[in-house]
Amino acid sequence: MLQAENLSLAYQDGESIKEAVQKISLAVDDHQFIGILGPSGSGKSSLLYLLSGLRKPASGEVFLDDRAFSKMTEKERVALRRSEFGFVFQQHFLINYLTVQENVMVAAPVQDKAHTEQAKALLADLGLGDKFHRFPYQLSGGERQRVAIARAMIHRPRIIFADEPTGLLDRRTGLQVMSLLRGYCEQGSLIAVTHNPEILSEADLVITLRDGQVANMESKLKSAQIS
């Protein structure tokens, strides 16, 4: 489904060049939970941005169903991200002057009654059924992150990319958030970046990065491939 071949990314760091990602290849199938683990500066977020098309690699290629990202126009890549991908970040990026329900509907493909009802159902499933009309500043950190998850799910993406989704949460709330994200694998795939191995305990594949390279891989899936 999603395949990366020999991805590399480098950037200027003062007078030197830092290689954030070095020749990583990865194949992700439907309904998989992939964890990318590593300390700050290991390249895990950079790899996530390459896989999702938010960054262009210095070399290598990413494919979704044999469609190469590099062969698409920027407009086509944006459309692909909007239709096929969902995003959950460490910072929830909610819009403070919009209600909980309106924040979820921002990502809906169509602003209609059907998607409004879907937003309400998602929020109810996430334990926010009584907070449709509240604003982000009226919610706890865990509640705001759950709104961000509902926003990521509203258009039923094939892959949810989560970058340190529990980094600002306490342990209990963080585990609850990961449980919600894991549940989405019944519909699509999840790729989550973190420095905390505890939240990847149920991942199908955990890739540990060091200095932009794969240091270790633990797989529960015969179909998982990485190099």
pLDDT at residue 16 in the model: 81
Q: What are the domain boundaries of the chain?
A: 2-94+158-226
Letter for the amino acid at 41?
A: G
pLDDT at residue 222 in the model: 42
Under a CB-based contact definition with an 8 Å cutoff, are residues 117 and 123 in contact? no
Tens digit of pLDDT for each residue in 60-91? Answer: 999 999 999 999 999 999 999 999 999 999 88
Q: What is this structure's pTM?
A: 0.91
Q: How far apart are CA 203 and CA 212, in angstroms?
A: 21
Q: Which CATH class is domain 2-94+158-226?
A: alpha beta
Q: Give me the chain's average pLDDT, please.
A: 92
178 has a pLDDT exceeding 50: yes
Tens digit of pLDDT for each residue in 12-22? Answer: 777 788 899 99
pLDDT at residue 6 in the model: 96
pLDDT at residue 219 in the model: 84
For a pLDDT cut of 90, what percent of the chain falls above it? 82
In the β-sheet with 205-210, what is the strand arrangement from edge to edge? 85-89, 159-163, 189-194, 33-37, 205-210, 213-219
pLDDT at residue 14 in the model: 78
Q: What is the mean pLDDT of residues 120-140?
A: 94
